[in-house]
A and B are shown apart, each in its own frame.
Chain A
Amino acid sequence: MKAEIVIIGAGITGVSIAYNLAIQGVKDIVVVDKSFMTSGATGRCGAGVRQQWGTKGNCIMAKKSIEFFESATDTLEYDDDIEFKQEGYLILATTPEEDELFFENVRLQNSLGIPSRVCNKKEALKVVPYLRPESFTSATYCPTDGHLNPFKMTDAYFQKAKQLGVEFLFFETVESIEINNGKITSVTTEKRTIKTNKVVNAAGGYAHEVGLMVGIDIPVYSENHEILVTEPVDKMQGPMVMSFSKNIYCQQVPHGSFLIGRSNPEAKHDHDISSSWQFLDEMAKTVCDIMPKIGELRVIRQWGGSYNISPDRQPIISDVKSLPGFYIACGFSGHGFMFAPMSGVLITEIVLNKPTSLDASDYRLDRFEDKIVTEYEKSVV
């Protein structure tokens, strides 16, 4: 088998890259995934999309990606529903430091055209009336943030990519990548060898392992993040409610259920994706503290998934100086779903040697080698 380019990973990043390459006219694109589509972080995520970030790089990626989501059904001619709910994110500040940081963040966001605003308690309670007023100090709100169904969004890219001639190989694991004279020559799975000179590493939680196949030590690690879902109820909450200091995000999806998650500060750096009772205990305490009303709901299911974390919590979307033909899109640090439209656009522009639609220097792999890490994203759960 031969390919112009092989994409490793059929999560949201891989399918977006495949689609973007295909609409630019690239032929013979092959996507390989070791399991079913969305089996990685994409099918396990909260699928929230927000523009309220603390670094310029993250703000711009998110804003442009949300612009894509707004018209994705038409652009991708999708005949199903991506369930885009655009009712904002309400981010709660609970300490004086957060009040101050969020004020700065909103100033940055506004300067980039993101319509976020600072809310005092009263204004925040107007947006979500059942917040316990004593549990927070102020908030920020951006009405154009939202949520999508990650399975349908991935499917929308997948269906269009297939129509454009992209070939998908599921349940096939890339085991090695062959190099000859500093050039990639092929990719080998347990079933076949695919001759190619170009490979995209979109392997999510396994991006580090795929990097090692070509001797590149990508500075990312994986870590378990747990999440739960409640029984579905009538619509009661518009925006995602989130707090970094209280460590919670909580969103009611159009189906009616609530998705609620937190991070575990003690999580090990590994591929664990199991569920724990400790998570349920902590989650229950925080929910009852901030939104006692949500405490009335029954949890019906919990699961875990990998965040793939980079040193500055911004993604790595890059080519590699030492190995032409090798491209990386990983290290999304818990926000790769919402960035996927732009991840696909940027990788495509880099592969085709075109000028990038936004300054991609913040996402280069060599930002870590050259130790020019300038910013660190603090607005993460």
Chain B
Amino acid sequence: MSDKDIIICRCEDITREDIRKCMERGFITFEDLKRQLRVGMGPCQGQTCSELIKRELADFLGEKPDVINTHKTRPLVIGVKLKSIKAGVDNES
């Protein structure tokens, strides 16, 4: 299978080829890849892609995957509607 057909990030539809090209441009940390390609920032917040990208970076840099830092995890853990948040506030007061 060619790199073009291997999906690494399902939320943003980013392929292995996209990741490789971006690394070749000089973006060789997870935080850099995230900012260029939006990987790790979609609805699943990196639950699918982070391990795969870690392996891609390790491979590219000739390192072991466990020395590669992954992205910062941020709230929320799961998507919540703004109106549900407001309903929560209304209930409390």
Contact = CB atoms under 8 A, between A and B. Distances in A.
A74 interface: no
A230 to B, nearest CB: 8
B51 interface: no
B4 interface: no
A254 to B, nearest CB: 12
Interface in B60-93: 74-76, 79-83, 85-86, 88-89
Interface residues of A, number: 32
B interface SS class: mixed
B76 A301 contact: yes
A232 B43 CA distance: 9
A281 interface: yes
A296 B83 contact: yes
B74 A301 contact: yes
Contacts of B32: 36-37
A281 B82 contact: no
A232 B83 CA distance: 17
Given A231-B43, A301-B41, A303-B74, A36 B83 contact: no
Contacts of A268: none
A198 to B, nearest CB: 26
B65 to A, nearest CB: 20
Contact of A285 (B41, B75, B79, B89): B89
A284 B79 contact: no
Given A255-B38, A284-B85, A295-B82, A36 B29 contact: yes
Contacts of B85: 280-281, 283-284, 299
A298 B43 CA distance: 9
B43 A295 contact: no
A287 interface: yes
A108 interface: no
Given A36-B31, A301-B41, A295 B83 contact: yes
Interface string A252-281: 000100000000000000000001000011
Given A231-B43, A303-B74, A292 B83 contact: yes
Contacts of A43: 35
B82 A300 contact: no
Interface of A: 36-39, 43, 151-152, 155, 229-232, 255, 275, 280-281, 283-285, 287-288, 292, 294-303
Interface of B: 29, 31-32, 35-36, 38, 41-43, 45, 74-76, 79-83, 85-86, 88-89
21 contacts: A38-B35, A151-B35, A155-B36, A231-B43, A280-B85, A287-B86, A288-B83, A294-B82, A296-B82, A296-B83, A297-B82, A298-B43, A298-B82, A299-B81, A300-B41, A300-B42, A300-B76, A300-B79, A301-B75, A302-B74, A302-B76
Top 8 nearest A-B pairs by Cβ distance?
A298-B79, A295-B83, A284-B85, A284-B86, A151-B35, A295-B82, A284-B82, A288-B86
